[in-house]
Structure 1
Amino acid sequence: MAQDRPTAAELLAAVADFLREEATPALDRAEPRLGFQMRVAANSLAILEREARLGGAADAREHARLRTLLQRDGALEDLNRELARQLRTGERDERDMELMAHLEATIADKIAIANPKWR
């Protein structure tokens, strides 16, 4: 990954800001349907910017929690698959406080990327 500026996250944020602050208001006046579509595009870019900025650390935290919870190593996707299997078979359920703490932390990280205003 390039270490120069602007970073990918900065570029995504700049484009999203332009679309939200300049292009969308102009389109709202001229063509409201396109203004709505522009807001969707700007919001999508904002999600990508937050994922570029926050996603790696969130994945690392989730991976570490899963290794502890499952007491095994593996790729994040494989560990999630194993956790899903355990949930489906009833090996784990909502009475497992370590599981619930993991799920709450994972959801909080995902919401911080998808819609930080939600909380």
Structure 2
Amino acid sequence: MPDLVRAAVDLLVELKPPTIELMKGVFQWRDKATITDKQAEIFLLLDDDVQRAIARSGRNVGRMLAQLVMRPRNREPQPRPRQVEPTNDDFEYSLESMTGYGEAKECGLERTE
């Protein structure tokens, strides 16, 4: 921890890495879901971004972990479809052509007259 941060805090708490039992308890408390020791172990091995993606509320953590484990690892990543950048000719930038603005659009049109 940088010295400046250390000097600015009132209390510094060192947390130990989470354990399998702790992770099982977190999912039981938060989602009322029971995960196995193996599932908790796999979850703890994942990087933070993947953990956050899997552990979103309302998702079945066990199923998400099973999909990760069962997914072939040697599969080549698929290229993302290339997004075409629109040109100014593709759009008409006028208040008259805009949809979905209701009374706001009407008010704007009245003011431009």
- With the length of structure 2 as denominator, give the TM-score of the two structures: 0.22
| Larger relative contact order, structure 1 or 2 (CA cutoff 8 Å, min sep 6) | 1
Which has the greater radius of gyration? 2
- With the length of structure 1 as denominator, give the TM-score of the two structures: 0.22
